[in-house]
């Protein structure tokens, strides 16, 4: 549905000569005072209640775009980050598409990132896939790291600071080496999470498809250039079956369960440091520790889980093998094909 860029009570555009450049001073309203709304956008740090200018892991980048709706007529207006210390966003289409407010009415403002659809048209729900192909790079993850904000605007207070919240969940895995252990390329499977659903830009609500089944998320050759770190942006969901990882290095595979991970909540990052320590019968033993290190997300610490390995074969294939593991146990055992 197409909506007006500027309020319907806008009466006259007084343009100097035949110029197509519209200046703020050129806009005249009939009968009511009007004000152009200015927007600064920050990412809400849900852990400390402070506002920080960052998206995913970094600051806003020049050219990042958000969709902003003000009231019922100015819908899904495309705003672009133009830089500066105040994190200012400006209308992509210039003054002709900038958001204005009139009179004494208070207007509801909502915004989301990243922008989709067309300026002036109500956006539809976005189909979301969080499968392996969308977890491989920071740029890919950025496209599914949806953010949402809300606020109010009046002609008397037209400077609106939008505090964006992450609406997706995140799992972050960092592999480290203990004494006498050298890390090499790692293959990792994240298992028992659903990877298809939707994000509604109008409400900020995500949902998992009712018919979705759990799909493995796979990373291969996790190495030094990645700082032995991977992360997944995920749809919030209640976990049906226990979430676990299968991690392999040099032909040795380990399965470790996360029994405390019963739900993925919006805006929460579940961070695990996985340390490979020396062990008498194997090259290493994995110790899984949940961390709270990421600023800008709400983090959850679920304690420490240790894995007690036994001898594993060295001829494991690159595909996802069957694993011999007792579901109710926290202690994990390395296995192979």
The tens-digit pLDDT sequence of the chain (337 residues) is 555 545 443 433 333 333 445 455 445 555 566 788 999 887 765 544 444 444 555 468 888 999 999 999 999 999 999 877 667 899 988 767 899 988 888 999 999 999 999 999 999 999 999 999 999 988 899 899 999 999 999 888 899 999 888 999 999 998 988 888 889 999 999 999 999 999 999 999 999 998 989 999 999 999 999 899 999 999 999 998 999 998 988 888 888 888 888 899 998 888 888 888 777 666 566 666 555 434 345 544 444 334 334 323 222 222 332 322 222 222 333 444 4
pLDDT at site 131:
96
Q: What is the second-level CATH architecture of the domain 10-166?
A: Sandwich (2.60)
Overall pTM surpassing 0.85 (yes/no) = no
Phi, psi of 45 (to 5 degrees): -80, 100
Which tokens go with 135? 């977890």
38 CB contacts (<8 Å, ≥6 apart)?
Answer: 88, 158, 159, 160
Where do you find CATH 2.60.40.2620 in the chain? 10-166
Handedness of CA 11, 14, 18, 24 (dihedral sign): negative
pLDDT at site 288:
64
Which tokens go with 220? 């291969």
pLDDT at site 330:
27
Cross-strand partners of 214: 194
CA distance 46 to 296: 6
CA distance 280 to 297: 39
CB atoms under 10 Å from CB of 241, counted, come to 10
Where do you find CATH 2.60.40.2630 in the chain? 169-306
DSSP string for 153-200: E-SSS-EEEEEEEE-SEEEEEEEEE-TT-----EEEEEES-B-EEEEE
Question: What dotted CATH number matches 169-306?
Answer: 2.60.40.2630
pLDDT at site 77:
96
CA distance 118 to 256: 45
pLDDT at site 151:
93
Phi, psi of 178 (to 5 degrees): -85, -170
130 CB contacts (<8 Å, ≥6 apart)?
Answer: 144, 168, 193, 195, 196, 217, 232, 233, 234, 235
């Amino acid at each position: 549905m197409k909506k007006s860029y500027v309020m319907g009570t806008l009466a006259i555009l007084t343009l100097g000569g035949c110029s197509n450049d519209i200046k703020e001073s050129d806009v005249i309203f009939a009968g009511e005072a009007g004000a152009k709304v200015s927007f600064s956008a920050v990412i809400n740090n849900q852990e400390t209640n402070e506002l920080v200018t960052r998206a995913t892991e970094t600051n806003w980048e020049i050219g990042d775009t958000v969709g902003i709706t003000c009231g019922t007529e100015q819908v899904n207006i495309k705003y672009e980050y133009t830089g500066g210390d105040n994190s200012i966003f400006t209308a992509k289409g210039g003054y002709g598409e900038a958001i204005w407010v009139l009179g004494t009415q208070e207007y509801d403002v909502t915004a989301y990132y990243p922008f989709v659809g067309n300026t002036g048209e109500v956006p539809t729900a976005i189909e979301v896939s969080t499968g392996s192909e969308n977890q491989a790079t920071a740029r890919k993850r950025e496209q599914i790291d949806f953010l949402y904000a809300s606020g109010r605007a009046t002609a008397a207070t037209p400077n609106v600071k939008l505090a964006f919240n992450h609406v997706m969940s995140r799992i972050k895995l960092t592999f480290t080496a203990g004494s006498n252990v050298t890390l090499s390329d790692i293959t990792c499977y994240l298992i028992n999470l659903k990877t298809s659903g939707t994000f509604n830009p109008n409400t900020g609500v995500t949902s998992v498809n009712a018919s979705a089944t759990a799909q493995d998320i796979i990373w291969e050759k996790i190495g030094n250039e990645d700082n032995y770190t991977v992360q997944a942006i995920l749809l919030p969901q209640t976990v049906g079956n226990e979430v676990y990882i299968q991690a392999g290095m040099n032909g040795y595979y380990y399965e470790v369960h996360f029994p405390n991970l019963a739900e993925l909540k919006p805006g929460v990052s579940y961070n695990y440091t996985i340390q490979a320590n020396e062990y008498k019968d194997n090259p290493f033993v994995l110790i899984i520790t949940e961390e709270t290190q990421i600023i800008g997300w709400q983090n959850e610490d679920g304690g420490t889980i240790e894995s007690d390995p036994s001898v594993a074969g060295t001829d494991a294939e690159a595909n996802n093998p069957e694993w011999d593991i007792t579901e109710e146990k926290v202690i994990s055992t390395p296995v192979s094909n």
